[in-house]
Structure 1
Amino acid sequence: MILEKEFGISSFRNEWQKASMSLIYTSGLLTNGYESFFKKHNMTTQQYNALRILRDQFPKPVSTSFLREKMLDKMSDASRLVSRLSAKGLVTVTQNPADKRLVNILISQEGQRICSIIDEDLPNLDALIQGITEEEAITLVELLYKVRESLKTVDERITTTENVNA
């Protein structure tokens, strides 16, 4: 009944719809919290995510396709994101000597410095969901994994059905 009041609707078709709507709604709130947090650091969530990936790969440069594959938001425009990070001096971009169509992206010293500053502030980001216990957080992670596995299964079924009907 709480969710119905929050959404301003009388009922849901079933508990699966209620759960998915709750996930979407909560995701939006969490995303807004993340964006506000990173805005304080003059950065977006996607920019920090890219820097974090680059820092984990340092000193090995990566391509935009590698970056896109590892990003949390698969819809991010990695090329535009890298251009913005480069304009801020947070990454260096050079042409790949083996394949001139590709670029090598490397986090700069300034990018590493900014990541270190943000790292010190990350407990404030964690506070967004500290309304649940650590044990509940573990359970939530397990449940969300099951949801992602279910989504993959349904996506595979839909793709197979689309190919048969084509």
Structure 2
Amino acid sequence: MSIETDIKQTTPFKTPYQRVMVNLMFTSNWLVDSQSQVMKPFGLTLQQYNVLRILRGQYPNPVKVSDITERMLDKMSNASRLVDKLVAKKHVLRTECPSDRRAVDVVITEPGLTLLKKIDVHLNEWDEIMRSKLSEEEAVSLSQLLDRLRGSV
């Protein structure tokens, strides 16, 4: 289905650049909504899931809240608040950093790791959906184009 059909637009876009911008925003929102539905049964938001993934990537080493903030996909997220919510759910532990008492170290717990393993099963289904829509070469090419658009390449 075309972006024009999805948003019920009857007049053509003025430029292909406007079309791609709207298409990217629409697709981004679609992906966020879809991923949010995957997280809902696990009692997580996408931002909380992002924090858990960051911590799993560093496990067993602790990560400072400031480092989590730098690595978040959603730069508007309040990492401190997210960590507090994950502590309350017993998915992470928060401790004072021994080398800098103003900083806070965060580490994922065993229950947090177990939860991520359960979520991974559901996200593998997303890999299959993506494989049915894009070849591996197309996925690589699309990622490279998106990197270039953001100015990374």
Distance 1:133 1:96 in 2: 45
Contact 1:34–1:125 (8 Å) recurs in 2:
no
Residues 114 and 2 of structure 1, relative CA distance in 2, 3 Å threshold: closer
- Provide the residue aligned with 1:69 in structure 2: 70
Amino acid at match of 2:141: T
- Provide the residue aligned with 1:143 in structure 2: 145
Moved more, 41-50 or 30-39: 41-50
Contact 1:47–1:81 (8 Å) recurs in 2:
yes
Larger-gyration structure (1/2): 1
Unaligned runs of 5+ in 2: none
- The percent identity for this pair of structures is 39
Secondary structure of the corresponding residue to residue 150 of structure 2: helix
Paired residues for 1:1-166 under 5 Å: 2-9=2-9, 10-129=11-130, 130-149=132-151
Distance 1:86 1:11 in 2: 50
Distance 1:58 1:145 in 2: 27
Secondary structure of the corresponding residue to residue 100 of structure 1: strand
- Provide the residue aligned with 1:157 in structure 2: none
Residues 32 and 127 of structure 1, relative CA distance in 2, 3 Å threshold: farther
Q: Deviation at 1:13?
A: 2.1
The alignment's TM-score, normalised by the length of structure 2, stands at 0.89
Q: Deviation at 1:7?
A: 2.3
Distance 1:100 1:85 in 2: 21
Secondary structure of the corresponding residue to residue 114 of structure 2: helix
Moved more, 128-137 or 56-65: 128-137
Secondary structure of the corresponding residue to residue 102 of structure 1: strand
Contact 1:30–1:128 (8 Å) recurs in 2:
no
Amino acid at match of 2:67: F
> For each residue in 1:99-144, what CA deviation from the matched residue of structure 2 results, as whole angstroms up to 9, or x when unmatched?
2221110111111111122223321232443322222212211111
Structure number having the greater strand percentage: 2
Amino acid at match of 2:5: K
Contact 1:33–1:128 (8 Å) recurs in 2:
no
The alignment's TM-score, normalised by the length of structure 1, stands at 0.82
